[in-house]
Structure 1
Amino acid sequence: MENAILVGLDTGGKTDITESLLELGNLARACDVNVLYTIIQKRDTPTANFYIGEGKVEEVLEAVNTLDADLVIFNDELSPSHIRNLENSLKVKVIDRTVLILDIFAKRAKTKEAMLQVELAQAKYFMPRVVGMYKYLSRQKSGTGSKGPGEQQLELDRRLLRSKITKLKRELNQLVKVRRTQRNKRKSNNIKTVALTGYTNAGKSTLMNAIVDYSSMHNDRYAFEQNMLFATLETKTRKINFENNREYLITDTVGFIDKLPHHLVESFKSTLEEIAEASLILHVIDASNPNYEDQIDVVEDVLEDIGIHEIPVIYVFNKNDIAKRTNHIAQNPSIFISALNGENIDKLVEMIDKILYNDIIRTKMFLPFEKGDIYSKLKDNSNIIDTEYKDDGILIDLEIKQSLYNKYKKYVI
């Protein structure tokens, strides 16, 4: 296990530096790194050579030597020159928050798509940073299928990374086509979709399992849930059926975090398209976290960056079994739940139902006996409340979609 010192720069922004470094510590522990000490510097802007001031570099060096640390982790993304200068001064490995997040994603990725997405983000991150990856650059002879005459190791590595990025993009595009075909098929069948989004570890997968449990279709294909950062990266979609014949698909997507690397957002865009194509978004929030408002802002900023607008949102304040919140929340519509123990899941499902099926009409229809095929279709695609058999046909009381109502309007009484 590596022993690390955390370093944060407080520029006086809206982010609480103490909370941000606590989160950095959790990210480090998720990578099996032991956190020894935390150092904070207050400055208006980063310095050009070391990111922090030279005096603070001396303080970090003293902590490294005293505590026998072999790793220094910065809370912000560092430039290649920052990393090179810091490693020359501190004589230990220096990484940033982005590398930690990429490492966690690499460990959690299970499906081929997630693996390709993470690998692409890593390649893009390291592309401008190959400068600092070698103690020296050596000139080597040319060889078949290798470098040109006198080409340096650095140039070869850059060329290999460019080839790798091109190859990964090509493979991802093939998977994206499949995903988009599936989405287009759902649209053509008028299947409504609900997307779960939120800060990492807010309880999205637990909520998905709770809704699946509550539905009339108990499904064994549950989503993985665990109290850890980025417990799941794969997009999982489950079909939800209710006794009133209303159904929709619910999709669990990757969680967000403060300072989420740009390369990751770019690489995971095909996954995040599931949110952009949804009929409704459930923004899941950890109500027990004292900084939940900042986390809401982080998620909404990312959603805005990927161009998600004008989709109805329900703000779902989860973990109320711990938080016990009853105070007013500015976000609307909102609801307090506990996905773990099922608190208010029924009320949340009602809210989802009301938004998704606001085009439902309560009506009565009379069908002659020879129109039994229409009755079968209505039985499969609407909520029949009451059926009465008359001498010359069937009288039905039902809730029906606007599209079906228009189609069979002549049978309405």
Structure 2
Amino acid sequence: MLEKKAIAYEKAVLIGVINQNQNEEKVKEYLDELEFLTYTAGGEVCKRFVQRVEVPNPKTYIGSGKMEEVEKFVKSNEIGSVIFDDELSPAQQNNIEKLLKCKILDRTSLILDIFAQRAQTSYARTQVELAQYEYLLPRLTGLWTHLERQRGGIGMRGPGETEIETDRRIVRDRIALLKKKLTKIDRQMETQRGNRGALVRVALVGYTNVGKSTLMNVISKSEVFAENKLFATLDTTVRKVVIGNLPFLLSDTVGFIRKLPTQLVESFKSTLDEVREADLLLHVVDISHPNFEEHIASVNQILDEIGSSDKKTIMVFNKIDQYHPDIIPEDDLTTERTSSHFTMEEWKKTWFNKIGDRALFISALNKENLDEFRKRVYKEVRDIHVTRFPYNNFLYPEHLDEYHS
């Protein structure tokens, strides 16, 4: 019997900077997320380097002393990739690569690489390819020399590995062709959405890895792919769901993330049309994450960018089974109490005060409080349905409980 081959993770180093926009604590949080992204892409983080810089070095982003430190570590530990948390200019990327003689990526190229791995359908692959080409176009000069090595691994998937594509004109032609192809598919998808009839549309939105796909599986009794990695879901999945004889469409959309590349927002705008055309948004939040409130702000910012911030929304705080507040001993009079010390009851009270009864607290994995969730979704969908079709509101009782009485 053949043994399973162990997964070989590529060695990587992360680099972040402390500046006027992000303090030490914020940089640590960003690098934690960058490490998870690296793991998702197939990398193993060996070390992190952080430097305090007011203005990034125009040639190498970080200072020469710190760069020498990185270079020494890269050479002595056979590092395959050095990943910067912020976007590098084409010149910086080229200069750093000449110094370190390994693959240089930034957060944008890393996310694009993960999307290239995760894209399953022809449509998603076309969207990712377009985003990659638009990112690579200004970087053609220095990039092709490094692509000649054909090393593979993180950041090397996708377009741009053949010699003919060193010609900028050919790449621009490819971008134009992909945009034309996406426009055609967009029209087809718009027709498909139109053919779904008058069913109420509900969309799951939220930060990446908050449990949207798990919740989708529980509610729709389907098998949408779910995994504890970032961007496990890339293709939008739409399922017909029935609660108490009331049918509606539920869509699971791509997860959002801080510093989401603008190329992806643009090329995935049709995927985000599911959000734009939804009648109700279920904003899923991982309440066990220490910075979930910032995740909420990031999602709200993207919703605002795509013109969906004013839609009727229910906040669904997921993973209540994993939430464990930091307990301050009674005799500890020095530790300042922060939001990380809030109990679940305090969080509920906080959010009920903020947004009224539009907050729900559940565990999709352990199926906790799902009855309350179903009742609330039923009520919201019914209200939308009755407003749209007032003549058949007798078909759907105001309360889900009436079906079981």
The yes-or-no answer on 1:335 pairing with 2:345 is: no
Higher normalized strand content (fraction of residues): 1
Find the counterpart in structure 1 of residue 319 from structure 2.
319
The yes-or-no answer on 1:169 pairing with 2:179 is: yes
| Match among 84, 89, 94 for residue 84 of structure 1 | 94
Question: Match of 1:270, SS?
Answer: coil
- Superposition pairs of residues 198-237 of structure 1, within 5 angstroms: 198-213=206-221, 221-237=222-238
Find the counterpart in structure 2 of residue 196 from structure 1.
204
The yes-or-no answer on 1:4 pairing with 2:12 is: yes
Residue by residue, what CA displacement relative to the aligned partner does 1:12-60 show, whole Å, maximum 9, x if unpaired? 4357110111111111111221211100011223221111122221121
Residue by residue, what CA displacement relative to the aligned partner does 1:281-324 show, whole Å, maximum 9, x if unpaired? 01111111001111111111111112213211111110111116
Question: Match of 1:358, SS?
Answer: helix
- Superposition pairs of residues 120-199 of structure 1, within 5 angstroms: 120-135=130-145, 157-186=167-196, 189-199=197-207
CA deviation after TM superposition for structure 1 residue 101, in Å: 0.8
Largest Rg, 1 or 2: 1
Find the counterpart in structure 2 of residue 279 from structure 1.
279
Query: How many residues of Structure 1 are paired with residues of Structure 2 in the alignment?
Result: 345
Q: Is the 8 A contact 1:210 1:345 kept in 2?
A: no
Q: Is the 8 A contact 2:10 2:44 kept in 1?
A: yes
CA deviation after TM superposition for structure 1 residue 154, in Å: 9.4
Q: Is the 8 A contact 2:243 2:378 kept in 1?
A: no
Alpha-carbon separation, structure 2, partners of 1:44 and 1:272: 36
For 2:396, give the aligned amino acid. N
Residue by residue, what CA displacement relative to the aligned partner does 1:145-188 show, whole Å, maximum 9, x if unpaired? xxxxxxxx8995211211111111111112111211122234xx
Q: CA RMSD in A?
A: 2.4
Alpha-carbon separation, structure 2, partners of 1:11 and 1:231: 32
Find the counterpart in structure 1 of residue 52 from structure 2.
42
Distance change in 2, residues 1:135/1:182 (3 Å): closer
Distance change in 2, residues 1:87/1:341 (3 Å): same
Unaligned runs of 5+ in 1: 137-152, 214-220, 362-376, 386-397, 400-413
Question: Match of 1:327, SS?
Answer: helix
CA deviation after TM superposition for structure 1 residue 64, in Å: 1.4
TM-score normalised by structure 2 residue count: 0.80
For 2:63, give the aligned amino acid. G
Find the counterpart in structure 1 of residue 332 from structure 2.
none
Find the counterpart in structure 2 of residue 294 from structure 1.
294
Unaligned runs of 5+ in 2: 1-8, 147-162, 325-343
Alpha-carbon separation, structure 2, partners of 1:307 and 1:208: 24
Distance change in 2, residues 1:61/1:154 (3 Å): farther
Q: Is the 8 A contact 2:124 2:235 kept in 1?
A: yes
Find the counterpart in structure 2 of residue 20 from structure 1.
30
Residue by residue, what CA displacement relative to the aligned partner does 1:116-147 show, whole Å, maximum 9, x if unpaired? 111111011001100112449xxxxxxxxxxx
TM-score normalised by structure 1 residue count: 0.78
